[in-house]
């Protein structure tokens, strides 16, 4: 079952269960997917987005909500921070499991070996391999620093 199908099924289930918070978050995900499809059509690309694209969209949504929750907590708006955190939980239900630090380190080692990377100039190659294989499963900002530190 594709990710899009799982989202549609979850949307129907949330409607039947009258789960307003989950339904709202699922609608936000669908809206973001539709936005990406419209943008792709405008660029002359394919209108359907892939599961990898959807995973990327949802990963970005999680990051946005983490930043918003942090800002709300700093501003003393705990009820809004809790709403953002609840949305993160719903979104993460559809994302692949995040890799542990040990798994990330092993994946970086394998990518370095696979690309034959020997210097800081090869970081792009290593990151390309990692993004291709592990999209949505690791924080590439942190991984980029880890790869750079390996050669730095």
Prediction pTM value: 0.72
Given this model, what pLDDT does residue 132 score? 83
User: Could you give the CA distance from residue 19 to residue 16 in angstroms, rounded to a whole number?
Assistant: 8
Domain boundary among 53, 71, 92: 92
Q: What is the CATH number of the domain that holds 85?
A: 1.10.1510.10
Is the per-residue pLDDT at 82 higher than 90? yes
Average pLDDT over residues 37-66: 83
Q: Tell me: pLDDT of 91 over 80.
A: yes
Coil/strand/helix, residue 44: coil
Same domain, 37 and 74: yes
Are 23 and 61 contained in the same domain? yes
| Residues 18, 81 within the same domain | yes
pLDDT per residue as tens digits for the range 124-134 = 888 888 888 88
Based on the number of CB atoms within 10 Å of its own CB, is 151 exposed (0-12), middle (13-18) or buried (19 or more)? middle
Residue 21: C-alpha distances to residues 1, 17, 71, 89 (Å):
24, 11, 21, 11
Q: Residue 119 sits in which domain range?
A: 101-151
Distance separating alpha carbons of residues 10 and 48, to the nearest angstrom? 20
Of 44, 68, 92, the residue that ends a domain is 92
Region 50-67 average pLDDT: 88
Residue 44 binned pLDDT confidence (cut-offs 50, 70, 90): low
Q: Are 4 and 21 in contact (CB under 8 A)?
A: no
Q: Is the pLDDT of residue 32 over 90?
A: yes
CATH number at residue 114: 1.10.10
Question: Is 84 in the same domain as 135?
Answer: no
């Amino acid at each position: 079952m594709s990710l899009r199908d799982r989202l549609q099924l979850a949307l129907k289930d949330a409607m039947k269960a009258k789960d307003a918070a989950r339904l709202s978050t699922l609608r936000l995900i669908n809206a973001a997917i539709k936005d990406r499809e419209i943008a792709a059509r405008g660029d002359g690309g394919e209108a359907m987005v892939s599961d990898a694209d959807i995973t990327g969209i949802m990963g970005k949504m999680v990051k946005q909500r983490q930043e918003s929750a942090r800002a709300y907590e700093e501003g003393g708006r705990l009820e809004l921070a809790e709403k953002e955190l609840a949305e993160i939980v719903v979104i993460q239900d559809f994302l692949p499991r995040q890799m542990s630090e040990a798994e990330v380190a092993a994946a970086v080692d394998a990518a370095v070996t696979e690309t034959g990377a020997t210097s800081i100039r090869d970081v792009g190659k290593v990151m390309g391999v990692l993004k291709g294989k592990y999209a949505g499963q690791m924080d590439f900002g942190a991984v980029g620093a880890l790869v750079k530190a390996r050669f730095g």
